[in-house]
Amino acid sequence: MSSASSVNNSDGKEAALFEQQLSKIGEVRAALGQLSGKAALYCSDASIARYLVARNWDVKKATKMLKKTLKWRSEYKPDEIRWDEIANEAATGKIYRTDYFDKSGRSILVMRPGVQNTKKAKGQIRYLVYCMENAILNLPHDQSQMVWLIDFAGFNLSHISLHVTKLTADVLQGHYPERLGVAILYNAPKFFESFWKIASPILEPKTFNKVKFVYPDRPETNKIMEDLFNMEQLESAFGGKNQATFNINDYAARMREDDTKMPLFWSPENSALASEPYVMVNKDKAQEGSSGLKSEENGSEKREETDTESENREETESESERGETDAREETEAVSDKRGETDTESEKGKDAATSSNGVELTSLPGEGKGITSAD
């Protein structure tokens, strides 16, 4: 077979696959029924496709997942969270969006769990959701994903919380499927490995495979940073050349400005949101999913969760957010005061499993809330 014939054959297969995927998007849309308001805006072809990809193009599972998100969005109202509501969570810069993108044009959320400043998981998750919505608001038109850049500077055992990790995974995987492009865990301490073995089964295979560990003393992992980021823009804490530091006042002004854009983004006038088309970006992955193959899951079958398990976790999420008891929070407060050193934190291992916060945090960092260092 000539090379020209091979190309034509390949193009024909891709076109047929694309038509199959569009057909499945149509099936989901039909199963959802008549939508109005923000729900109609949310369910663009591109948005529906993200749920289908997350469920390996299984129409029934994707529809079920999307319906849960629509219910969650109508109740939780993530697009209506404003800076002044969560400003106290942001004071240390534990999560913030940088004012530049990675080489692929993706929004970047810097997270620094070592500067956790609050006790309640409910507030921590609400701030995470605010940051996710803000990152999506600022995505270029040709991009739909973001990068999480997690810095472990100052991180110790007292910052570990399986509870918050579960809530974070539930929100990310359940309501923002295919929004995470890659998560960089930068310079994680040795003791984190034990926690990772416990926490990683919480992640679905697709999410698990997006997590990359990078260590400044390992050249082979540093290449990941060079491939992903413009090193002139990347802050020095991650091996870049940017000496800027996080400034809460500058960042607050930036977020308040973004808050004014959010109502328009979710208004009926924003026809671009509702009409966002599905584009088959990664043809190899698309083929795997559409044909029913689960290559990513084959190597991770022991971590695969059933629909029932997923539902149970989602119910746990709702109960956890509602049921943060004062006793638990006071326990966390005591455990935080116990000493930030790794030695003293050994005492706090039990307390660390309460909702103290492996949540995402930030330290002096970047974004437009970034001030150049002297």
Average pLDDT over residues 1-8: 61
Tell whether 67 and 118 lie within a shared domain: no
331 falls within a domain: no
Tell whether 61 and 110 lie within a shared domain: no
121 falls within a domain: yes
Average pLDDT over residues 142-148: 95
Domain with 46 in it: what CATH number? 1.10.8
Tell whether 21 and 133 lie within a shared domain: no
Mean of per-residue pLDDT scores for the chain: 81
pLDDT tops 60 at residue 300: no
Tell whether 69 and 106 lie within a shared domain: no
335 falls within a domain: no
Domain count, the chain: 2
More confident residue, 194 or 274: 194
Q: Is the dihedral of CA 99, 168, 276, 278 positive or negative?
A: positive
Average pLDDT over residues 45-60: 97
Q: What is the pLDDT of residue 282?
A: 54
Tell whether 21 and 158 lie within a shared domain: no
**Local confidence band at 335 (pLDDT 50, 70, 90 cut-offs):** very low
pLDDT tops 60 at residue 64: yes
Q: What is the pLDDT of residue 368?
A: 39
Structural domain that includes position 212 = 92-267
Chain centroid to CA 341: 29
Q: What is the pLDDT of residue 342?
A: 43
Of 216, 249, 267, the residue at which a domain comes to its end is 267
Nearest-5° Cα angle at 226, 223 to 230 = 175
Average pLDDT over residues 217-225: 93
Tell whether 229 and 114 lie within a shared domain: yes
Average pLDDT over residues 120-137: 97
Q: What is the pLDDT of residue 326?
A: 43
Tell whether 105 and 37 lie within a shared domain: no
Tell whether 138 and 37 lie within a shared domain: no
**Local confidence band at 46 (pLDDT 50, 70, 90 cut-offs):** very high
Model pTM score: 0.77
Of 222, 249, 267, the residue at which a domain comes to its end is 267
Pairing of strands 211-214, 180-186: parallel
Average pLDDT over residues 3-13: 70
More confident residue, 151 or 320: 151
pLDDT tops 50 at residue 367: no
pLDDT tops 70 at residue 174: yes
**Local confidence band at 272 (pLDDT 50, 70, 90 cut-offs):** confident
254 falls within a domain: yes
Tell whether 99 and 71 lie within a shared domain: no
Q: What is the pLDDT of residue 307?
A: 44
Tell whether 59 and 194 lie within a shared domain: no
338 falls within a domain: no
pLDDT tops 80 at residue 348: no
234 falls within a domain: yes
pLDDT tops 70 at residue 280: yes
Average pLDDT over residues 106-133: 97
With 0-12 / 13-18 / 19 or more C-beta atoms within 10 angstroms meaning exposed / middle / buried, residue 115 is buried
SS (H, E, C) 3-32: HHHHHHHHHHHHHHHHHHHHHHHHHHHHHH
Domain with 211 in it: what CATH number? 3.40.525.10
Tell whether 137 and 179 lie within a shared domain: yes
Of 236, 267, 298, the residue at which a domain comes to its end is 267
What distance, in Å, lies between the first and last C-alpha atoms of the chain?
64
Average pLDDT over residues 271-284: 72
pLDDT tops 50 at residue 3: yes
242 falls within a domain: yes
Q: What is the pLDDT of residue 270?
A: 79
Least confident segment among 59-63, 194-198, 332-336, 353-357: 353-357
Tell whether 124 and 173 lie within a shared domain: yes
Which tens digit of pLDDT belongs to each residue from 178-190?
Answer: 999 999 999 999 9
341 falls within a domain: no
